[in-house]
Structure 1
Amino acid sequence: MEPLRADMFEEICPSSLLPFRVGPDKWAALVIRCLEAGPRRYSELRVPLARVSPKALTHSLRALERDGFIRRTEQPRRVTYELTPLGQGLFEQLQLLCDWASDNWDNLLDAREA
């Protein structure tokens, strides 16, 4: 599996302009996007989510696990997070929202500036 890119979520990107939240907090959608390709360790998630504080990322992961969207797996000296079937279904809907944000990028930016 390829490593996550550090620039996966730039400061201004369609996912940051969504006028609604997906999941328990504002970072949940980004975490779900990071887990799209398969299980990831916490340190891997920190790369594209560097602007998220460790405390906020931990809170988001716990909330997503509590709500059944992700699964936390512990092995000796290794913890991974992955999407559950429920989380995969949410990812598909999230992709539709991201496509909508991309299609309406200019309108969203205009509205934010107004």
Structure 2
Amino acid sequence: MATVLIWAQMDLPPEHARDIIDEAKPLIEAALEEPGCEIYTWSHDPYVPGRVNVFERWTSEEELAAHFLNPAYTDMGKQLRSRGPIVAQSRKFRVDVHGPIYDENRVPSAEFFDVAS
């Protein structure tokens, strides 16, 4: 079973972005309670007005598939478009290998040493 990461970026009407996400809080919290949801975080980009970045981590493709059927997901689109159109992009990543960034001497490396799967 491989971990699944979700990255999304949405550009909401800047004058309404905070309210849209604040009102979506119950849906975000519901997603966090779903089986297999390890991280589900939304943050306002401090450099681009109205931009929201989303990061999710799911324990498996099956758990993510179940999320796509739940109101925490199905109602979110309506909430996000509640005050105008949005521009969004998103990607999913299946993680079959992961490892630490720093070695035992606290030196960062792009290599996958001491790999755990």
- If the length of structure 2 is used for normalisation, what is the TM-score? 0.27
Structure ranking higher in helix proportion: 1
Structure ranking higher in strand proportion: 2
Larger RCO of the pair (alpha carbons < 8 Å, separation 6+): 2
Which of structures 1 and 2 has the bigger CA Rg? 2
- If the length of structure 1 is used for normalisation, what is the TM-score? 0.27
